[in-house]
Amino acid sequence: MKYLKKADLQIYKLIKAEEKRQQETLMMIPSENMSSLAVQEAVGSVLANKYAEGYPYKRYYQGQKNVDAIESLVIERTKKAFGVPYANVQPLSGSPANLAVYLGLLKPGDKLMGLALAHGGHLTHGAAVSASAKYYQSVSYVLGKDGVMDYDLIEKLATKEKPKLIISGITAYPLQLNWKRFREIADKAGAWLMADIAHLAGLVVAGVYPSPAPWVDVITTTTHKTLRGPRGALIMVTLRGLKRDPELGKKINKAVFPGLQGGPHENAIAGIGVALEEAMTIRFKKYAAQIIKNSEVLAEELKKYGFKLVAGGSNTHLILVDLRNKNIPGKIVAEALEEAGIVLNYNAVPWDTNPPFNPSGIRMGTPGITSRGMKEKETRKIAVWMNEVVEELILVRKKMAINLEQEKEKETRKKVIAKVKVIKKISQKVKKLCQKFPVKKEY
């Protein structure tokens, strides 16, 4: 980055600081990952200079020969990787991808149904604050009291509400989804069925998570999570979807452009293409399988230390911990673990009585640490360290007699965390582990 250093030293230093942070800490937020330098080079290439409004070979500007070839190649790779007949690679991120599907399939005021935000769904699955609930009628399904997807309950709601679109997808649910059951529910309700696999795409491509393609009409995904690509998104139409409506692909295209977006980010699209090429290898399949192995081991180890896991465990890439049995909210736990070099996020849990900005849970995942080459042995160490930090944090918090109202203040939380002596020791252990498993440049 010699040119950046010369042109803007301030930005250069901040990027280098972030690079150091990622190298020295454990990336355990399940929606994050570490893309290869090949992906990063594509995103940082001269493609960022090109404006390409429209679609391959149907642009509104000249000079499109190379970007047409690149976007067409990425479309073909998407179709091959996911086993679908149609793909749009232009969505800028997951939220606009989902909104494009709604724009293509629904009219304002039509009803859609998705998993409630507090139960592991996404904002765009119909949360009240999202455009998905402001322009469409939103009905939310919830998990059962055991924290597990209750398909009979979902079916009952769908047959009553008759939504035009049902969204099957998660951001904080740790078990595999039953695509076939969702199909049965959608058919009974007469609804379109969309799968949002933003968290699951890499696992699906690798064949370690069931593909929704045989069961749903439309698939959306981001590309930077388990797929280990750049920031971006994809919309795919399945054979089933095209059979129901042969014009569905064209409707999606029109919804993305000109419906929601202008010129696509061809540099990001190229990066997605590189990530897809990497994902269709034996190495990636082994990597994806290890993600799940690490997550299952981490879940079982945490349970040994008395952590209560939503849905009882994990058979995917993520784990959701309900901390209410330990009488401590998620935010201060997440902040304390970050000080120790273990970076995850505080998160709402089903039936949470605490506010979203200070919820009762923490969410974590294993894609990032698995990208560094860590396996079960290292995952068990991480569970030990997490428990040590949380146990001392609970004791310190109790000794200081801090209540939930006081804990809303950031300075109060800082004072509590500063007294947790084990954090410094764990932080050093984390750094040593990270040195042993450095961030990889290629996969």
Q: For residue range 260-313, what is the model confidence (pLDDT) as tens digits?
A: 999 999 999 999 999 999 999 999 999 999 999 999 999 999 999 999 999 999
Q: Which of 441, 416, 371 is nearest to 26 (CA)?
A: 371
355 pLDDT band, cuts 50/70/90, is confident
Contact 216, 182 (CB under 8 A): yes
pTM given for the model: 0.96
Q: Which pLDDT score is estimated for 346? A: 97
Per-residue pLDDT, averaged over 32-55, amounts to 98
Structural domains of the chain sorted by starting position, each given as residue range(s) with its CATH number in brackets: 50-279 (3.40.640.10), 290-436 (3.90.1150.10)
Q: Which of 439, 150, 443, 200 is nearest to 318 (CA)?
A: 200
Cite the beta strand spans of 275-393 per DSSP E: 308-309, 318-322, 342-343, 345-347, 361-365
Q: Which pLDDT score is estimated for 389? A: 98
Active site residues: 51, 53, 196, 222, 225, 231
Q: Which pLDDT score is estimated for 2? A: 93
Q: Which pLDDT score is estimated for 71? A: 98
96 CA to centre of own chain: 15
404 pLDDT band, cuts 50/70/90, is confident
Give the model confidence (pLDDT) of 49-107 as tens digits. Answer: 999 999 999 999 999 999 999 999 999 999 999 999 999 999 999 999 999 999 999 99
CA 283, 30, 100: angle at the middle one, nearest 5? 95
Residue 178 has pLDDT above 90, yes or no: yes
Separation CA 405–CA 335 (nearest Å): 17
Separation CA 201–CA 406 (nearest Å): 41
Q: 116 in helix, strand or coil?
A: coil
Residue 16 has pLDDT above 90, yes or no: yes
Helices 410-418 & 330-339, crossing angle to 10 degrees?
Answer: 50
The pLDDT mean for the chain works out to 97
Contact 417, 423 (CB under 8 A): yes
Q: Which pLDDT score is estimated for 357? A: 86
Q: Which residue has the higher pLDDT, 405 or 45?
A: 45
Residue 205 has pLDDT above 90, yes or no: yes
Give the model confidence (pLDDT) of 136-160 as tens digits. Answer: 999 999 999 999 999 999 999 999 9
Percent of the chain with pLDDT over 90: 97
Q: Which pLDDT score is estimated for 403? A: 81
Q: Parallel, antiparallel, or unpaired: how do β-strands 111-115 and 192-196 relate?
A: unpaired
Q: Which pLDDT score is estimated for 140? A: 97
Q: Which pLDDT score is estimated for 408? A: 86
259 pLDDT band, cuts 50/70/90, is very high
Residue 407 has pLDDT above 90, yes or no: no
Contact 51, 263 (CB under 8 A): yes
Q: Which pLDDT score is estimated for 419? A: 97
Question: Which two three-digit tokens encode residue 188?
Answer: 């009974």
Residue 405 has pLDDT above 90, yes or no: no
